[in-house]
Amino acid sequence: MLKNVTKKQILRTVFVTLLSGALIYANYQKERKAVYEKLYIQIDNPEETVEYGTNYALAKRLVPPHYGELTQSSVLNPYEVGDYEVTYTLTGKDATFGSTVERSFTKVFHVVDTQAPIIQLEAEKVIAYIGSEIDFKTKNIISVQDPVDGIIEDENIEIVTEANLEEVGDYEVRVVATDENGNSSEASYILQVRRRPNVVTNSNYYYILDKLKNTYGYNDAACAGILANMKYECTFDPTCETPKYYGLIQWGGGRRTNLYSYCAEHGLAYDSIDGQLAFMQHELTTSYRRVYNFLTSVENTAQGAYDAGAYFCQKYEGAARLSGRADLAIAYFNLNH
C-alpha cells in the first residue's frame, strides 16, 4: 500500500513539474514574442536611390528611427556607384528571463551618379588669326568641373572641331567632358578665323588710349573699339581733313560745326586731341546715349572689343561697312589687355 501511494505522489510530482515547466515555457515564449513585436525600425521603402556624393541627411536614412539595439551589416559609400544591401538587426532582452531576441530587416541602396560635368566657356564666339596656334583645351574654357569630384582632367576632355587655322571661316568647336562615372556633357562655341589686321600705333594712339581709360573710364574692350575706328578714319591725326570731314572721327556737316562751337565755348582747341575727345564724350552722353551705354557695359574681352568696334562704327560713325574695324579692335585689345 505504501508503494502505491508513493507512486501516485511521484506521478503527481512529475505532473506538477511538467505543468509548471510548460507554464514557465509558455510565459517565456510570450515575453519573447512581446519583446520581438516591440523591436521596430522605420523603413519606408525596401529600396532607395542615393545621388552620388550625397552627405546631407544621409545618416538619418542609413540609421532610421528604431526601437531596440541596432547593428548594421554594411556601410554605404556615397562616393562609389553601386548597389548596397544593408541588413539591420535589432536586439532586445525580456525582463524576466533575460534572453536575447533578434529581429532583422533588409534595405537596398542604389548609389547613382546623374550629374554631368559643368563646362563654363568665356564667350560664344572667339576670333583667331590665320597662322595662329591654339591649345583648344584651354582656349575659351574657363572651367570644366564635376559637381562632386571637382576639376575634370585634360584626358577626360575631348575637343571636336574641323577648324582650319590656315583658312578664313567660321568653325564650330565642341568641348566634350566625361566624368569618372561615364556622365558626359558638351558645350560649343564658334571660332572665327580671320586675316591678321595691320596694327598701327604712334604717340597719338597711346595718348588717346590713356585719355579714354583714365579720364573717361572706358575699359580695354571699349577703348579698342573706339581706337580701331579712329585708325580707319584718320590714323589718330586730329588735324586730318577732307572737303567734307574733319578730325579723329571725321565729323561732317552739322556735327563738324558743332565740334567747332563746343570747343570754342569750353576753351578747347578744335584741332587738338583733348578738344575732340571732349566733344566726342559730349555727343556720346547726350545725342548718342545708346552708344555710350553700350560702350560702358561691354564685356572686357576680345569679343567685347569686336562688338564695341562694330557698334561704334555703325551707330556713332555711321559708316556703311565695317571694313575690318571690328577685327582691328580685337588686335588693339590683345595689344593692350
**Residue for grid cell 572641331:** 161
Return the H-helix or E-strand segment holding 174: strand 169-178
Query: Can you spell out the DSSP letters for 59-126?
Result: HHHHS-SEESEEEES----TTS-EEEEEEEEEEEE-TTT--EEEEEEEEEEEEE--PPPEEEES-SEE
User: Is 212 domain-assigned?
Assistant: yes
Same domain, 189 and 207: no
Chosen domain end from 112, 136, 164: 112
- In angstroms, the CA 141 to CA 124 distance is 11
User: Is 32 domain-assigned?
Assistant: no
User: Is 31 domain-assigned?
Assistant: no
Same domain, 190 and 268: no
The β-bridge relationship of strands 100-112 and 47-51 is parallel
Q: Which of 321, 260, 258, 317 is nearest to 291 (CA)?
A: 317
User: Is 101 domain-assigned?
Assistant: yes
Distances (CA, A) of 209 to 69, 221, 227: 77, 11, 8
Distances (CA, A) of 172 to 40, 175, 308: 61, 10, 23
Same domain, 214 and 179: no
pLDDT, residue 35, reads: 73
Domain count, the chain: 3
pLDDT, residue 16, reads: 64
pLDDT, residue 5, reads: 56
Chosen domain end from 81, 96, 112: 112
Per-residue pLDDT of the chain (337 residues; tens, 9 = 90+): 445 557 676 667 666 676 666 776 677 677 778 777 788 778 888 898 989 988 755 666 777 888 888 888 877 888 999 999 988 888 988 777 777 888 888 989 899 999 999 999 988 988 888 888 999 999 999 999 999 999 999 999 999 999 999 999 999 999 999 999 999 999 999 999 988 888 889 999 999 999 999 999 999 999 999 999 999 999 999 999 999 999 999 999 999 999 999 999 999 999 999 999 999 999 999 999 999 999 999 999 988 999 999 999 999 999 888 888 998 999 999 888 7
Q: Is 249 left (phi over 0), alpha (psi -120 to 50) or beta?
A: alpha
pLDDT, residue 1, reads: 45
Chosen domain end from 168, 194, 220: 194
Same domain, 208 and 253: yes
Same domain, 190 and 225: no
Task: Identify the CATH number of the domain in which residue 94 sits.
Answer: 2.60.40.10
Same domain, 122 and 108: no
Number of residues that make up the chain: 337
Q: Which of 135, 132, 122 is nearest to 193 (CA)?
A: 132
Range of the domain at 135: 118-194
Neighbours of 322 (CB within 10 A): 18
User: Is 175 domain-assigned?
Assistant: yes
